[in-house]
Amino acid sequence: MDPVDFLQSDDLLSDEERAIGQSVRDYARAELAPHVSDWYESGTIPVEIARGLGKLGLLGMHLEGYGCANTTATAYGVACRELEAIDSGLRSLVSVQGSLAMFAIHHWGTEQHRQEWLPRMATGDAIGCFGLTEADAGSDPGSMRTHAKRDGDDWILNGSKMWITNGTIASVAIVWAQTDTGIRGFVVPTDSPGFKAHEIGRKLSLRASVTAELSLDDVRLPSSAVFPDVRGLKGPLSCLNEARYGILWGAVGAARACLCEALEYSLLRTQFGKPLAAFQLTQRKLADMSIAVANAALTAVQLGRLKDTHCITPEQISHGKLANVRSALEVARTARAVLGAAGITLDHSVMRHMNNLETVATYEGTEEMHTLSIGRALTGIAVFR
């Protein structure tokens, strides 16, 4: 019996998917896990790790061509699970790179965009970020104030974007802006005059991740910079669905890591002459965590299979993101309680995961928005535009 895969959900994976998961797990434990507490404490992450992730084939791994691995969606999810078992910031780097920036270029860009950026992004030699959220336009991106106007054959962009992962280390930004013909996406090299990225500090969550505010002050772009065939929120929301899918897998990894640490600690820590695991209340906590992890893992596998057969809906992704992150947060909190005072230190991972998951619960769609998305699917009644 594998205590962190109680229902043997990994048996539902293909041999290749299990092999990819094991490769990512081995790499993450050997190369990333020994340093992640220091990165979290210092509030940074070295950009060099992107090349290692690129060599492993994880950047844009579910995309086809241009140096991308073209794996199944389920394999991509398993990779996200293994990365977030170490830290949400690592999975966020891969999610933003592959599911937001690279996916946007791959799906909505021109062949010139793809040839110019995707091969370098797949190797980690170029980092991308995704500029949608603004300080006053989070759950309501249609209210964004960033705008782009034509000036002859060029576009002039003005505005700002907030909470942008990878912002200060990116070579290219996908920026969404209001235009006379609706919201449109632009491929913006970050060395463009007028483009600036300012790192956001004083974070208590996702500290092993770079978060920035983007400023665009009369950024001039050629006509070729715009995505040609998509207008409105269809473009950015299609990218967000890709990222949310990776998140629902990542949450399984974070929850699994917390369960594993709590179980190990409860077997080693003694109180009143016996291990914590020998107390009924502790076993209840462990059982509850195991059930939550197993159910989240089964949800992820089922949604992976739906995605691989092109049958998945945005509402089903909302279900997975909402349910799995909610469960992971509860597991992390329970695991912290099992560890007692030891659980609040960076010598253990549970509170780091708990703090990260507080952010994961609200980015790429808050609990409220995912709840209402599911409610709309159930009732046919939309309560937000």
Which pTM value belongs to this model? 0.96
Q: Are 27 and 94 in contact (CB under 8 A)?
A: no
Q: In the block, which residue shows the tokens 């991740």?
A: 209
Catalytic position from the list 31, 358, 364, 367 = 364
- Hey, where are the domains in the chain? 9-123, 128-231, 234-379
Q: Whole-angstrom Cα distance, residue 331 to residue 325? A: 10
Question: Tokens standing for 70?
Answer: 């073209």
Architecture label for domain 9-123: Orthogonal Bundle (1.10)
CATH number of 128-231: 2.40.110.10
The predicted-structure confidence for 123-171, as pLDDT tens digits, reads as follows 999 999 999 999 998 888 999 999 999 999 999 999 999 999 999 999 9
Q: Give the residues across from 157 on adjacent strands.
A: 148, 219
16-353-298-68 Cα dihedral, nearest 10 degrees: -30
pLDDT value at residue 339: 97
Q: What is the sign, positive or negative, of the torsion defined by CA atoms of 28, 31, 37, 43?
A: negative
Question: Tokens standing for 263?
Answer: 């179980």
Query: Which is nearest to 145 in space by CA: 129, 164, 161, 125?
Result: 161
Question: Tokens standing for 83?
Answer: 């990365």
Interacting residues of 205 by C-beta distance below 8 A, sequence separation 6+? 355, 356, 358, 359
The predicted-structure confidence for 177-204, as pLDDT tens digits, reads as follows 999 999 999 999 999 999 999 999 999 9
The predicted-structure confidence for 334-374, as pLDDT tens digits, reads as follows 999 999 999 999 999 999 999 999 999 999 889 999 999 99
Q: Whole-angstrom Cα distance, residue 117 to residue 346? A: 37
To the query of whether residue 364 is one of the catalytic residues in this protein, the response is yes
Which CATH superfamily includes the segment(s) 234-379? Butyryl-CoA Dehydrogenase, subunit A, domain 3 (1.20.140.10)
pLDDT value at residue 1: 76
> Per mean pLDDT, which range of 79-88, 170-179, 219-228, 362-371 is the poorest?
362-371
